[in-house]
Structure 1
């Protein structure tokens, strides 16, 4: 993606960027709507990413361009950081990072030109927003010759999302985007937060380099993007956030993660919660237990149990948290009857977006297309199919096109 970035940057601004940074998309492996409830989640950085190029200006102007907007330039003064709307609303993510810098004791660059290219599908629940926040933050840090710990980088991205963009997300998206590593999942205890890498069953690094055949138990991720609406700011995400807070207050805890499935059931019975609030609480508490069960299953290389837990997670999102859709449910139902699929679930905020399937190494593109064809026959539009692998987290990239390519 470096070459397309350089081409778009030159087309927009007539020169090359001084610094470049990339950040991956992520899948929420398990832990749906758990991060802001203080629980544990597991995600994976994937080999689709977003790239940011940046060059300084000495006139105090800030200019933004992105390939997905056709190269239209958004120009803003450096002395005013205000939310944008309409076609320019994507600029709110790097603007949010700029607004967050002083709160973390960092200086923001004054004038600059910034360009974005990406092969992450927008609205698929793969967290292109977190990728943009972290890539922009790395580019801003690079050009101002500042460094931060990875934990602080992740915190800057989340602060931008919460306080400037206005999405009350937890730390999952930015945490996985920042701490991802090829061949691993990222486990996050959201209370600290604490980040830990979890090896994914599959080929060793030596086997990967030598191109040796996959073992029987190798895991693969397939993503089916429905292209249905996935607009978290529209209010459904915020509504679930509010309902979880209401449930926690009624059950006498600061966060739902403080409850076990047993204590939660007992307290729900006494608290006389509204039915929908009780369902939200049940989902959160039981989902945290599933995260721990997945962690144990992965440690012993048990992909079959892992897949069953992923599907159970979807059923909970479908019936208890009610953030699924008929399109997502149909994909999960179809995938779970397809040979080679260990399990499937919605990934991300829900209310549309994408389903991920955990498969063995023998699941093929032809099988994926058969699933897609059945979906098309039912809903009329074809889902986008992505076969993905784990990838490294956000990083600065050499700006010169003569440097070795990262991707």
Structure 2
């Protein structure tokens, strides 16, 4: 019975079986009903397939974004991109090219697929890539096409298909995802959409991480010298003191800096501060903390160091400063230092006061020297320091007692 067959097909379809087909033999009303029913089933199957594909795409996008959200560093995000590329288009040769912070150069950070060397795109900078310039993904069925990307030409292995997808963050180009396959066989729509999703998520996460890193750097760095600023130094040094980690605390101050500024101008003063900061970082180790405390005063935490080793470091620093000034356009200057065994002090604040007092003593003793603070002296009798150790002004010396100034050193004549 044709009607019974249509009824059974409808019941099967209602139960989820959309592959059922009504056998139609006649051209009467029952036959027309059967054919209409088959058309409906075909459309339902197509709709079901479309919904399943959309679900897969959404699930893939969700998993990619979830993995990228777990990335705490740029290297973590790059690792996610590498694994996702392997899954998105396993038969394609793929690579991720990322720009450095200057955005002037591209570096290959990921290769995936059957060729360990990757597609081998020779694009050197983000805006040399046509996809980046266009601001959208570019699919190239064949590198032999007239409008194919010029960077696809003359590669080893002959003609190929390609997909290039910009990696960007807030409209700024960070790099490009580049995939290649057999000539005339571009990636299918689902693969393309997955790669586009990956490029978008990777750009967003890496851009966010770089933005956070810049913000953190600005919050913890002195803008003039590039050294750690006072707040960041105090946070880290206090933590070291609380944990009992041994270090020597050093307070340093440029001698007669005000006179240098008044004589040569503030630009010369800034050059002096930057040069001194460079000498400090060059004379210390990576694990040491070097800080611009404020104005012309600097602070160091020489980690896992005793006072004898610290004295050698400071003497080496003084010599290095003199050597660099000898061949520099920066006006000549010296620096004074006060230092203390921080762990011998009850608190970090006490260590600061003692090192500051030692710096003050170095100023009064003639400058251009380092003096070790007595960690057992009565700091209360010495009195707390409310600000940086000021550079005391020497009383004028009799003319006969003054050293003859150098002809090319007007500061020597001013200071006395």
Q: TM-score normalized by structure 1?
A: 0.22
Query: Which of 1 and 2 has greater Rg?
Result: 2
Higher normalized strand content (fraction of residues)? 1
Higher normalized helix content (fraction of residues)? 2
Q: Does 1 or 2 have the higher relative contact order (CA < 8 Å, sep 6+)? A: 1
